[in-house]
Amino acid sequence: MFIKICGITNVEDALLATALGADALGFILCPSRRQVSEKVVRDIVGQLPPDVMTVGVFRDVGRARVVETVNTIGLRAAQLHGGESPATTRWVADRVPVTIRALPAGSPDLLRFDEFGADLLLLDGPVPGSGEVFEAWSHEASVLPVAAEPLLRWCKARAAAGETWSGLHAMGTRQGEYVAGVLDEVRRSGPLTGGQLSDPRPRQGTWWGGRSDGRRALDWLFRIGEVGITRNERFEKRFLPLADLVPAEVLEQPTPTVEEAQRDLLEAAARAHGVGTAADLADYFRMRTTEARPRLAELVEADRLVEVRVEGWRDPAYRHPAVSLPRAVRTRALLSPFDPVVWFRPRAERLFGFRYRIEIYVPAPKREYGYYVLPFLLGDALVGRVDLKSDRATGRLLARGVFAEDGVDREHVAAELSAELDRLAAFLSLGEVAVGRRGNLASALRAARR
């Protein structure tokens, strides 16, 4: 594991980070709440152990200035966090020891990363270099840059008016005194879990029906934006005031109109998709398609999107002007059922001919592929799927069912999937991958692992 800590501003933090095992330290040399001067960086670097990678973080700075700064201070790497082109990145890479290119999750540039000529890729949040994110209800419960908070206020207002799950709305409207008490306790004592409330009011039942009133009250307050969420080491929700997560300068920004917010969100969705129909882009932030269509027309009129036709698609589509077609797509990944590539099922079928359904809630005898099945992305195609289970008791990653899509080269897919399973097992700290006998790719995968 390689650990890099970014945003260092003083020598005490730098020495503490290295003592705790950090391999690299990042110094932000562009506008940011954690920006530091070149003089301070030079002083800190002079006191660090020689084996620590020191990284200057730049965003849309002239390429010559990047190289000059890195070499003058004596940094070991340049991290480019803005809209630097492949040509600019390659120019910098030829003149500094190590170049790191930061790209936001969902960026089409990820598919052509090789063109940048960088040594390392840093996968960042949707707004590169913001350094601050928070959990919010958008695509689903999602991690977003704090700068996006004003764009979601209309969603919170609609939830407060009843456009959410009926049980949550009932909690908020029928037990207002109790909910107000929960909010007051979070403000006084947060962060805390539902079980740590002084009056959690447990309920009888199973799964969702058995959630305590305290948990339901906290979920309601999160849904309407009164509280935020952090996660502990077991990924449990811990609730705290939203102001403890989102800076005051963001919370104090004027609230955009619904139309303004929807336009900005749809443009962000188009940037993440590259190209998509109105339904595709609307689903990304859970808008109604009927509301999205006029906003998309306005974005086209303002030259923020381009309306296009895609061969084989019935509906018109929209392309972000900054999207470019990669020369080749070189990628390999097992996708979560909630990955945006497959989350909106009609788009996955339209793009890849890949019909995908989560079968967790399907009785075992009626499942087609398995309980928790991950699609396998190879290049620009979904070529298979795997029913996976992490068996902690035996330290094994179980591939209980392995399936190839029609027309793929099964030996090639099996070899690539074998490597990806090894990578996933290592990530999960499991020592072995065990392949079952179910599925039309199982025998080829077992052969690839001999």
- Tell me which residues are annotated as active site: 6, 124
The DSSP bridge partners found for residue 25 are 5, 54
Residue 137 burial (CB count, 10 A): 21
DSSP helix/strand/coil, 135? strand
Contacting residues for 243 by C-beta, under 8 A, at least 6 apart: 251
Which residue's entry shows tokens 């003083």? Answer: 10
- C-alpha 75/C-alpha 142 separation (Å) is 35
- C-alpha 66/C-alpha 73 separation (Å) is 11
Let me know: does 55 contact 78? Beta carbons within 8 Å. Answer: yes
- Strands (E) in 45-191, as ranges, are 53-58, 77-80, 98-104, 120-124, 133-137, 141-145
* Angle formed by the axes of helices 289-301 and 258-273, nearest 10°: 80
- C-alpha 303/C-alpha 306 separation (Å) is 7
| Size of the chain, expressed as the number of residues it contains | 450
Which residue's entry shows tokens 């879990």? Answer: 193
Let me know: does 190 contact 227? Beta carbons within 8 Å. Answer: yes
- Which pair of structure tokens corresponds to residue 52? 């620590």
Provide the edge-to-edge strand list for the sheet that holds 4-6.
Answer: 4-6, 24-28, 53-58, 77-80, 98-104, 120-124
- C-alpha 371/C-alpha 387 separation (Å) is 7
